[in-house]
Structure 1
Amino acid sequence: MRRISTTLFCLALIGSANAQSINAGDSPVSPTKPFIAKEVARFNTPWAIAVLPDAQMLITEKPGKIFLVDPNGHKTPVSNVPAVAAEGQNGLLDIAVSPGFATSRDIYFTYSEPGASGSSLVLSRAKLVTSKDKAALENKQIIWRQTPAGGGGQSGGIIAFDPNGKQLYLTVGDRMRPETAQDPDQARGKLLRLNLDGSIPADNPHADKGGVRGETFTTGHRNPYGLAFAPDGKLWLHEMGPRGGDELNLIKADGNYGWPLVSNGDNYSGKPIPRHSTRPEFIAPALYWTPVIAPAGLVFYQGDMFPKWSDSALIGGLAATALVRVSFDAKGNAREADRWDMEARIRDVAVAPDGAVWLIEDDSDGRLWRLTPRKM
């Protein structure tokens, strides 16, 4: 019998039955904002924020650039970024700071790699080297590549590190090929769990099978653009539904979340999809949104500036043009607590060491905002 890691064991035991999903789609806009949003810089279609230990940030632009940005908005371009297939939803995607960054200077990033048969989602690792007014990626290494190539948007590509700092989780969307989400041999519609070098952890649910099956932690996802560990060690993922049915899911080892066999939304053609309630063998979301918010970016707040938000999830809303706060009760049940209208498509959310919240706008002239408390 394989030894099961503490984190994996805990995830596997979180609840044996699905609680009833809550529809937060019609949640009202909060009447007041407890923060001031200050514009700090602008970018060409920014996609992700990674905060460094010294409070600087790495920000990706979907067309294929990375910038090192200080809290005052000074931008230093990062050189030696690989070429990306930037079209539609594809391009340069997420970026994350390695758990051992203080000594290794390693960062991880995802992108759509160009290819003759179409693009592939790629996970790369590189060393961030900086000097005065210069920054570059060195020792670039592709540690995971999606095969076969091809498909549409909905790449996923979100990275999260296990609290033990020894594994990473990677979301992979269905690339607009819904049937692949239930195919165990297709790296599409899955949440993968990998060692930091891209190899398969020995305690993955099906590690002994190798390949995609060995890498897979959960299956049945559509378009996952948010992934984060909560302070209590639970892993949460959100994904965009079709026409309705955006989801916030509590991740359970070896779980199947049902796409495309079930959804709380319907196909864009109008063809209905069976609801989660009709197929209890699939894990239903803790929260869902109909009408959709198009969630993008996910972080759990811990900091001194907004103590009332402690342990809440902050989610960007593209369609909702909002910042959404989700709170959790003592039993771990989720509810939408606030929805602040930002009058802009919010692509990613991050928390700085000082407790300030950073947002980026999904636009060709997308703004970077710093949120600090408003005196009430």
Structure 2
Amino acid sequence: MNFQWFTPLLAPIVLGLAIASCAASPPENGTDTSEAGQATDPAPESPEAALPVVDSVEPLTLVEGLEHPWGMTWLPNGDLLITERPGRLRRVSSSGELDPTPIAGVPDMFTAGQGGLLDIALHPDFETNNWVYFAYADGTSQANRTQVARARLEDNALADWEVIFAVNQDKSDGQHFGSRLLWLPDGTLLVAIGDGGNPPLQIGGDLARNQAQNLQTHLGAVVRLRDDGSVPDDNPFIDDPTADPLMWSYGHRNIQGLALDPTTNQVWSTEHGARGGDELNRLAPGENYGWPIVTFSEEYSGGPITSETSRPDMVNPVTYWTPATAPSGLAVYRGDRYPQWQGQIFAGGLVSQDIKRIEVDANGNVVNETPIPIGQRVRDVRQGPDGYLYVLTDAANGRLIRLEPTS
């Protein structure tokens, strides 16, 4: 598909992307191994060398007037669906026009605090079944939970709304719903769930965040479902009587970025710490990512949450950010618009109001990190079917932005 969204609503700002070293291991110095002084014909130019060099981008505002947009996905005809946290589903045409009328059929939901209509994903076979999947908050201020539903998109309305998953532990307040959705190549669906909330919030007489180490609750976990919500028979805890069978990984605080590298099939995530300690993780089934037993994060009131930052039976983050960036939205780039950025990770930041362009080596270690300033809270980052990177900003007047190569 070739979209022609070339009319910005905001004058672009050219961004020079100076490479900045991050907290991970530094890159190895390259060595020129070519021989000099040889009277031979030059080697033919490699296809990679012929690709255009992209060393800067400019953010082009395509759409304004979105109210706290949260997630996005493209339809086969090139239209874009965008969720708004207050409970609306919007359509942007392939020509870049926002339909003023929201798509009908979204039911009432819990829209307080961080809750509302959150992530969205199309069924892998959408062209034959029209299923659209939604993650959202349901319930009341005293008893709420993350749910996943699917509905069929028919013209400009949803039909056959069906709840296929609900977190098995209610919580109070309006924090930490998680809610990112990700389809795996085998047609199963990952759902990231927050830990329930910050102290002094409690569940069953214990701090809510401790539920992230409880294999019987979905809080603080990534669960894996079939497309109808049933349990895949190869889930990692399927034979563990002490664990819920939907559990896929656990020990998470509040995942707000979830992405698949379509070349390596590696699943990546970003999650919020409390006061600092935001994390980039490589996810794998059955693993414990430590929260709140091991963390680089501190209490909002000050002081360490724990004295431990690592344990041999828990997975360390690939990198972490202190002070906090509040990462939200994640993409692994595999397109041709920015050819030198193949395999690099793009992580949005709510607090930092930028996108981190993260370069990893063949072993998945971070070697460079470069900020791309956006100037608003970044809620989502996705690669579009046209190969461009698209951004949603979280504001009462939120924007849809495209990162346009400038060289």
> Which TM bucket (shorter chain)?
0.7 to 0.9
Deviation sequence 1:162-191 (CA, Å, 0-9, x none): 112x20100000121211111122210001
Structure 2 matches for 1:83-232, cutoff 5 A? Answer: 83-115=108-140, 117-130=142-155, 135-152=156-173, 153-164=175-186, 166-176=187-197, 177-209=208-240, 213-230=244-261, 231-232=263-264
What is the alpha-carbon distance in structure 2 between the residues aligned to residue 278 and residue 317 of structure 1? 25
Counterpart of 2:336? 304
Structure 1 pair 52/225, CA: closer, same or farther in 2 (3 Å)? same
Counterpart of 1:82? 107
Aligned length: 342
Structure 1 pair 47/315, CA: closer, same or farther in 2 (3 Å)? same
| Contact 2:353–2:374 under 8 Å retained in 1 | yes
Q: Which runs of no fewer than 5 residues in structure 2 stay unpaired?
A: 1-21, 25-53, 198-207
| Contact 1:322–1:344 under 8 Å retained in 2 | yes
What is the alpha-carbon distance in structure 1 between the residues aligned to residue 312 and residue 322 of structure 2? 20
| Contact 2:295–2:305 under 8 Å retained in 1 | yes
Deviation sequence 1:348-368 (CA, Å, 0-9, x none): 011112112111111001111
Counterpart of 1:65? 88
Q: Does 1:256 align with 2:288?
A: yes
Counterpart of 2:70? 47
Counterpart of 1:363? 395
Counterpart of 2:23? 23
Q: Which runs of 4+ in 1 moved over 4 A?
A: 209-212, 275-278
How big is the alpha-carbon RMSD for the aligned residues of Structure 1 and Structure 2?
1.9
Which among 351, 373, 381 is matched to residue 319 of structure 1? 351
Give me the TM-score of the superposition, normalised by structure 1: 0.87
Amino acid at match of 2:288: N
Structure 1 pair 326/308, CA: closer, same or farther in 2 (3 Å)? same
Counterpart of 1:35? 57
Structure 2 counterpart SS, 1:103 = helix
| Contact 2:138–2:145 under 8 Å retained in 1 | yes
Structure 2 counterpart SS, 1:181 = helix
Q: Does 1:353 align with 2:385?
A: yes
Structure 2 counterpart SS, 1:23 = coil
Deviation sequence 1:250-299 (CA, Å, 0-9, x none): 11221111111110111112131335544222111001111111100011
| Contact 1:172–1:190 under 8 Å retained in 2 | yes
What is the alpha-carbon distance in structure 2 between the residues aligned to residue 275 and residue 200 of structure 1? 37
Structure 1 counterpart SS, 2:210 = helix
Q: Does 1:293 align with 2:325?
A: yes
Greater Rg over alpha carbons, structure: 2
| Contact 2:121–2:181 under 8 Å retained in 1 | yes
What is the alpha-carbon distance in structure 1 between the residues aligned to residue 157 and residue 193 of structure 2? 27
Structure 1 counterpart SS, 2:369 = strand
| Contact 1:314–1:324 under 8 Å retained in 2 | yes
Amino acid at match of 1:246: D
Counterpart of 1:10? none
Give me the TM-score of the superposition, normalised by structure 2: 0.80
What is the alpha-carbon distance in structure 1 between the residues aligned to residue 302 and residue 348 of structure 2? 27
Structure with the larger strand share? 1
After TM superposition, give the deviation of residue 118 of structure 1 in Å: 2.1
Amino acid at match of 1:142: V
| Contact 1:51–1:350 under 8 Å retained in 2 | no
Counterpart of 2:203? none
After TM superposition, give the deviation of residue 229 of structure 1 in Å: 1.1
What is the alpha-carbon distance in structure 1 between the residues aligned to residue 375 and residue 128 of structure 2? 40
After TM superposition, give the deviation of residue 143 of structure 1 in Å: 0.1
What is the alpha-carbon distance in structure 1 between the residues aligned to residue 390 and residue 122 of structure 2? 16
After TM superposition, give the deviation of residue 343 of structure 1 in Å: 1.1
Q: Which runs of no fewer than 5 residues in structure 1 stay unpaired?
A: 1-21, 25-31
| Contact 1:200–1:210 under 8 Å retained in 2 | no
Structure 1 pair 209/83, CA: closer, same or farther in 2 (3 Å)? farther
Structure 1 pair 190/47, CA: closer, same or farther in 2 (3 Å)? same
After TM superposition, give the deviation of residue 150 of structure 1 in Å: 2.1
Structure 1 pair 64/102, CA: closer, same or farther in 2 (3 Å)? same
After TM superposition, give the deviation of residue 335 of structure 1 in Å: 3.7
What is the alpha-carbon distance in structure 1 between the residues aligned to residue 242 and residue 67 of structure 2? 36
